[in-house]
Chains A and B, each alone.
Chain A
């Protein structure tokens, strides 16, 4: 945790100092991000949705959302976008209180969430900087075909790399990229080992609330870096040690004394009341043994690794393989498999009010998963970073009812 805090603080420091160092920032999104490629050109990745959620955890997003609404963005717009736009309009001061650099490039490497496209259109208007759009084919049939891969690689070669060369003034260095991808793969191995530890009873980790911390470095700016590798080596050792000792997860209030319910969670957490939300689970002895949100930046347990032997192809596969680029049947398969693999008692869907792309179809998914696994689903609704949409009493009521239902059915 401390290591991660240091890493994130260090990155924001570096971003704040670009005026002095001359380093350039590339804004890009977490799902399907091309971090290694950005780093290979010595550019600095910035992830706007991470800024939004970090601002929310620091209780700043409410003001930003209001600011964006003042600027004409409707109540129904994705609150990540509004928090980001609001932050920008209030001087682009990042979550750590330091000013963020303006983007030299907006790199859109994933479009399964159509909001991303609109988001960068808005940022382009504000910053008047170049945009590169990598069109990532949606996995409509639930698989990646060789043609799809070729299509993405072609764009990487013909559009993305030349633009990165132009912005950075540096030639594309494939060896540098290969080295970073090899490092990524090692971190990915360690991360999968961390997820796998939750198969044990009791689980040594909470793979949703704790899990969002574990994915921090690899899904944000650090994948492919030495720091990232060392973070995951340390994390894996710690988690395996806890598993060996038969310890349960650590929460903000200490240890979970009894693992009463093992759950799989679909959907991002609410960030504005993160701790309160988490407490509703651990206070009842509910431990999340797996989640889909922690897979938005990569489904490594299915075997995918960044591959130094096929650098561009593996980047293409990475973009196409992220959770949010999967169709509903694949999402159902994944959750049903997680329920079985992690011996979960049930699953909870946290449906996000302002996320039209991924909340649609969740009730349908829920019914299908229930039918397939025989395990009960619970449904709650909240929002990402708009504090107005977290109704604690209502969510608590539903969760308690759900836990009691699991107990009555067991």
Chain B
């Protein structure tokens, strides 16, 4: 199957999208950005491929299983697949941890640490089975977060009052997770899906579908993706291992991606981890004007991250907490660190956390409003993208301010908005090849890399 790939290497997460030749979305992939951009990029891409395969698998099962039965089936297959992948990573983590303990400088510390470590790892394995069931609330999509939360919790429990042992365990984990993250454990679709199929076939409720599962899985494995072109974008795009012609600014990609999701889009607001972009696009999704925050990232996603840390709550809890506010407290948005200080002071004065958080969300949106005005205002339809678009307190503040300043209009927020940039990139990948939008010289792209001195000889 021919595919076009878009990769958006953001400061927090790396996203990838597969698109078919008719510009239909095949699948999405996401991973946490890490120090090794190549790996982040590779994993996001592989995740997108897996996601594409699951879409195919769903179609296969739908044609073979009567009624809605295939939905339950695919949900279980997916969770078991994740479990297989998670277990492989756990295995790698266990190996890395054991090696790290072997290298503890004081030999006397090794045996007791090994003993506790083995208990922790065994329990993590057991826990994992419960984590991957349909309907279970995922702590995070990323192995790093899931593993850290289990490991730290268990380490604290097992170490008890022995603070030095706890230190050693945490040190071991920190070293080891970096090694796990430096490798991809994603690229083994056939292995994982076979494991998942075996597990699901054994479940009494799916006994009748054994053959359908086998057939659908075999068909899905057999499909080969032929990637015809890849375009990279995002904050880290310069570090992507692509030639310059395959790199596109995230502003263009967000504009085109937003147009793809909501074709009547004329204004796009993207609030990402470290920048905010106000973009105006024409009827084809081509950018006509844009403004970005300059030299200060107050008012971006990281502002919320910082505040979450200051208040000792999870990033995802901020929005829901702010929604519980009864009055709005004004918080400055000119500087993240000052806002943090202001927050502490107001907490000390007895303001409610929820009210202050509502003020903070409004502060972020006020910054965005200024950028929007500078880029040419807000024209219907208006599409809001980026990680912050997932935060309901932020979107509520935005809706209110847009209505006050520009009147009522259609505001689009897609649950998949985090993929907007990657979708735009994938569209460029496809259109560049056809020369619809940008005349990239394909021959130049395919030019072989200069032979090395050795090869020349």
Contacts and interface: CB of A to CB of B under 8 A. Distances in A.
Interface of A: 363, 367, 370, 376-377, 379, 381, 389, 391, 394, 397-398, 400-401, 404-405, 407-409
Contact of A363 (B288, B292, B295, B374): B374
Contacts of A400: 249
Nearest to A351: B294
A394 B252 contact: no
A394 B295 contact: yes
B194 interface: no
**Which secondary structure characterizes the binding site on chain B?**
mixed
A279 to B, nearest CB: 14
A394 B293 CA distance: 9
Contact of A405 (B287, B295, B374, B376): B287
A408 B286 contact: yes
Interface string B434-447: 00011000000000
Contact of A409 (B251, B288, B292, B294): B288
A345 to B, nearest CB: 14
**Listed residue (B252, B292, B295, B374) with the most chain A CB atoms within 10 angstroms of its CB:** B295
Interface of B: 248-252, 286-292, 294-295, 374, 376, 437-438
19 contacts: A370-B289, A389-B295, A391-B294, A394-B292, A394-B294, A397-B249, A397-B292, A400-B249, A401-B250, A401-B252, A404-B249, A404-B251, A405-B249, A405-B251, A405-B252, A405-B288, A407-B438, A408-B437, A409-B286
A370 to B, nearest CB: 7
Given A376-B288, A408-B252, A408-B437, 17 more contacts: A370-B289, A376-B289, A377-B289, A391-B295, A394-B292, A394-B295, A397-B249, A397-B292, A398-B292, A400-B249, A401-B251, A401-B290, A404-B251, A405-B252, A405-B288, A409-B286, A409-B287
Nearest to A388: B295
Contact of B248 (A363, A370, A381, A404): A404
B81 to A, nearest CB: 38
A377 B288 CA distance: 9
Contacts of B251: 401, 404-405
- Counting chain A CB atoms within 10 Å of each CB, which of B250, B252, B376, B437 scores highest? B252
Contacts of A404: 248-249, 251-252, 438
Contacts of B292: 394, 397-398
Contacts of B376: 367
The interface centre, meaning the residue of B248, B250, B287 with most chain A CB atoms within 10 A of its CB, is B287
Q: Report the 6 A-B pairs with minimum CB-CB distance, sorted nearest first.
A: A401-B249, A401-B251, A391-B295, A405-B287, A408-B286, A404-B249
Contacts of A391: 294-295
A370 B280 CA distance: 13
B369 to A, nearest CB: 15
Nearest to B291: A379
Contacts of B294: 381, 391, 394
Nearest to A409: B286
Contacts of A397: 249, 292
Contacts of B249: 397, 400-401, 404-405
Contacts of A367: 376
A213 to B, nearest CB: 28
Given A367-B376, A391-B294, A391-B295, A408 B289 contact: no
A121 B80 CA distance: 77
A170 to B, nearest CB: 51
